[in-house]
Amino acid sequence: MDTASDDGTSPPDETAPDGYRVVASTGLAVLFALILSIAPIAGTAAAIDQVAIVSPDRAQVEAAPGETVTIDVALRSQGGHGGEGIDAVTLTAQYHPEYLEIEGIDRGPWLEGTDTEIRTTETLAHEQGTAIFEQRREPAAGGATGVGTIATLTVRVAEDAPVGATTISFDESEIDTTGDWPIAVVDESATVAIDGGTESLDSLESFEHPDPDELARDSNDSSGGNASSDAENESAATDDGEPVPGFTAGLAITAGTMGLLLLAAARDRRQG
């Protein structure tokens, strides 16, 4: 039988710690369920989170009116989900035709590999301020990954170009993989500082470019051979299990905190 204490209060309920242990166990079960549910979602998000980075070898190029310069364009990509390589690249360069002209584009070694040839198509639409250079592997042969030069632009500054800065943008470029997963393209522009270097970088007026898909493309293509460059085409390692920043970690921390709070509450009540 329960008996009252000398001060008239009832003794502590000896079953309370067991009740809180049940609550704590439930909290841990919720924690593990959350972690298990996060894993497949994170894997799917990582699969569409592969990127390709297109960037010039120099963020700023100094040139005088009438001068011709070359700009190497680099590509960095680990390919798509599951190790799928890149099998086609459409490099689209857009500029202001009153200040610059892209006179030609030479293929870089990035897509090269054994047992495949590179087919290229060049479209120079100067009046529209657009140059398009398409490359594809035939056959795809697994595609390419790594870091290297995808193309070299030959750019001439107009004779009457004013002092200032103008850009060559690559944000309409497209990358295709050997698989079906989408791949995002991140680009960096090249700034051409005309007749003033770093001391005069006032941006010149912009130019409204047409949609590249609406331009007439050159139907002539050529083979670029099948020589490979080990230094340029060293494959980058991929990690399919890499967590998605701001997603997996955030949910895991929240779930872990819930579990720790429940355990702490149970300990306090047992000790009280």
- Report pLDDT for 104: 97
Q: Is 263 helix (H, G, I), strand (E, B) or coil?
A: helix
- Rounded to whole angstroms, the Cα distance separating 151 from 133 reads 8
The tokens describing 145, both together, are: 């990954």
pLDDT along the chain (272 residues), means of 10: 49 48 48 43 46 95 96 96 92 97 98 95 96 97 96 97 94 93 91 74 82 75 46 34 32 39 45 48
Residue 184, Ramachandran bin (φ over 0: left; ψ between -120 and 50: alpha; else beta): beta
**CATH code linked to domain 50-223:** 2.60.40.680
- Report pLDDT for 81: 83
- Report pLDDT for 214: 77
* Strands (DSSP E) found in the chain: 51-56, 60-63, 68-77, 86-94, 100-107, 117-125, 130-138, 146-157, 164-168, 174-177, 184-187, 190-194, 222-223
- Rounded to whole angstroms, the Cα distance separating 207 from 127 reads 11
User: Domain segments of the chain: what residues?
Assistant: 16-46+244-271, 50-223
Rg (CA), the chain: 30
Please confirm whether the linkage preceding 139 is cis (ω < 30° from 0): yes
DSSP for residue 83: G
- Report pLDDT for 227: 39
- Rounded to whole angstroms, the Cα distance separating 181 from 143 reads 14
- Rounded to whole angstroms, the Cα distance separating 2 from 156 reads 98
- Report pLDDT for 211: 85
| Residue 137 burial by Cβ neighbours in a 10 Å radius (0-12, 13-18, 19+) | buried
CB 102 within 8 A of CB 131: yes
- Report pLDDT for 176: 95
